[in-house]
Amino acid sequence: MPKDSTISCYDSHSNKYDSYQFAVVPQYQEMLEMVAATVHHYLGEKGARAMMLDLGCGTGNASLAILNKVPAKIFLVDGSEKMIDIARQKIGSEFPGSIAGQKAVDLTGSDWDRDLGSHEYDVIVSTLVLEHLPFDSYKAALKKSYRILAPGGWLVAVEGYEEEGSDIVDWFNRQMEEKRSQLDPGLSDFVSKLREQKEIHYYASKRQKEDWWRQAGFENVVVLWQYLCIALMAGRKPVS
């Protein structure tokens, strides 16, 4: 992602992100709840000893949902420093001491996985982020995630998909437009135009991405939840 593209888009509307996201993105709250339930299920009894990486943390909504179920330690990573600042403030206010560290970095770069703490992660969570990576960067991110996970650790990701011959992306976007029309026009038009001009998506089918996950080494790859073109997928790094 060039700096004047998706990252700068989120920099520009970081203070408006939550009010827009919760109001406009269909099933956004349900998505967060499913992510939290999935992490809680896979972490089992690890609880407060669990280390989690929020890959593309945004304003921290996924981390907050998870912390309401699992008392984990969380490392925040995002391309937007402004988003990380908001996430740190929100999480720190509700769950003091839960942030293990933070790093602002472009996920298309070759070194985003450096300096993420001296530990392996029990779970990596990514919500509505990986779809913004060109396919080569996407596959590289899978390999990096696999490397920094502890044996038996999980990658849990929500992202957009596009199936050949299907209209689900257009259907999803129409729902967003309907919800957007009910917002304050100033907020709605500002964010919508900004995203249209700068936000980039790279969609592939679920089957294609499942193949890429398995090629990166993940096992037990499964789609756990889907709403139209948005789906939650999880995969596990083998124990040995």
- Distance CA(17)–CA(65), nearest Å, equals 16
Q: Which residue has the higher pLDDT, 210 or 190?
A: 210
Q: Is residue 44 one of the residues assigned to a domain?
A: yes
Q: Is residue 73 one of the residues assigned to a domain?
A: yes
Residue 61 above 70 pLDDT?
A: yes
Q: What stretches of 27-163 show up as alpha helix (H) in DSSP?
A: 28-43, 61-67, 81-94, 135-148
pLDDT interval class at 3 (50, 70, 90): very low
197: CATH: 3.40.50.150
33-46: burial string, b at 16+ Cβ within 10 Å, e else: ebbbbbbbebbeee
- Distance CA(68)–CA(37), nearest Å, equals 10
Residue 232's nearest CA partner among 101, 146, 128 is 128
pLDDT interval class at 209 (50, 70, 90): very high
194-211: burial string, b at 16+ Cβ within 10 Å, e else: bbeebbeebebebeebbe
Which DSSP string corresponds to 28-65? HHHHHHHHHHHHHHHHTT-GGG-EEEEET-TTSHHHHH
Amino acid 45 reads E
Q: Report, as an integer, the average pLDDT of 199-208.
A: 92
Cα dihedral across residues 232, 29, 94, 15: positive or negative = positive
Calculate the average pLDDT of the chain: 90
- What is the end-to-end Cα distance of the chain in Å, rounded? 34
What percent of the chain stands above pLDDT 90?
Answer: 71
What is the model's pLDDT at position 1? 39
Residue 26's nearest CA partner among 190, 198, 178, 232 is 178
Which residue range(s) make up the domain with 115?
A: 6-236
- Distance CA(7)–CA(10), nearest Å, equals 5
Q: Is residue 133 one of the residues assigned to a domain?
A: yes
**Interstrand relation of 73-78 and 51-55 (parallel, antiparallel or unpaired):** parallel
Q: Is residue 1 one of the residues assigned to a domain?
A: no
Count up the domains in the chain and report the number: 1
What is the model's pLDDT at position 193? 65
Residue 239 pairs in a beta bridge with none
What is the model's pLDDT at position 194? 59
What is the model's pLDDT at position 184? 79
What is the model's pLDDT at position 198? 64
Q: Is residue 134 one of the residues assigned to a domain?
A: yes
The pLDDT tens digits of the residues spanning 83-99 come to: 999 999 999 999 999 99
The pLDDT tens digits of the residues spanning 44-55 come to: 777 778 999 999
What is the model's pLDDT at position 91? 97
The pLDDT tens digits of the residues spanning 129-184 come to: 999 999 999 999 999 999 999 999 999 999 999 999 999 999 998 998 888 888 77
Q: Report, as an integer, the average pLDDT of 15-26.
A: 83
